[in-house]
Amino acid sequence: MPIPDDHLVTRLLDRVNAGDDTATSELLNVTYRDLRALAAVVFRSEAPGHTLQPTAVVNEVCMRLMKAAPRPEGWTDRNHFFKTAARAMRNILKDHARAKKALRRGGGAGRRVTLDSIEAPADSEGGIDLIALDEVLEKLAVYDARLGTIFELRHLAGLSVEQAAAVTGYSQRTVERDCTFIRAWLRRELYP
């Protein structure tokens, strides 16, 4: 996934964190194409005929990010910004799945994700309910926040092992081991 010039994004993030009212809009304009690419990665595992479209999700993410800025703790860098955007996309899709499930009173759960989407063949033929997956990921993040971040970067943001290592500052080998652990964790939690 191409990411805009690091220095431009960093300068814009600095302006956002300093309270510049126009910087958030500029930041979103500069990163929109990349946020759209991120949404396309997220939507690869969506069920056909999904009622949300990637563009609508990106627009919702932009609105949420604009509401959140300027943030007291600030976005530390472009990687932090894109991790925040990926998490916002996950939350939007989760909220949509919950609303849809509530309307159908327990019908299918919406988004289906296979465990092989994080580089290992799954034992199960079907996918995983996004709501169940989100609950397991919340549990994983409580167990180890780094593992939750690695999953988000690898699966939701679509980053390679090398890219996830660069974003987190961990070695590629650590990211690979984390992915192996995450797959085992998901299998145990989702297929008891």
Alpha helices in 69-159 (DSSP H): 78-103, 130-143, 145-151
B/e letters for 61-95, b = 16+ CB within 10 Å, e = fewer, are: bbebbeeebeeeeebeebbebbbbbbbbbbebbbe
Quote the pTM value: 0.57
Q: Cα separation of 112 and 109, whole Å?
A: 8
**Beta-strand relationship, 112-113 and 128-129:** antiparallel
Nearest in space to 42 (alpha carbons), one of 136, 110, 121? 110
Long-range contacts formed by 101-109: CB under 8 A, 24+ apart: 101/131
Rounded to 5°, the CA angle 161-136-130 comes to 85
Contact 132, 140 (CB under 8 A): no
- DSSP-based three-state secondary structure for 122: coil
The DSSP bridge partners found for residue 167 are none
Tens-level pLDDT at each residue, the chain (192 residues): 444 566 788 888 888 888 887 888 888 888 888 888 877 777 766 666 667 778 888 888 888 877 766 555 667 777 778 878 888 887 888 787 777 776 554 444 444 455 555 443 333 444 556 677 778 888 888 888 888 888 888 876 677 888 888 878 899 999 999 999 988 888 888 776
Contact 40, 55 (CB under 8 A): no
CATH numbers and ranges of domains, the chain: 1-77 (no CATH), 111-192 (1.10.10)
pLDDT for position 175: 93
Which are the contacts of 73, defined by CB distance < 8 A and separation ≥ 6? none
The DSSP bridge partners found for residue 112 are 129
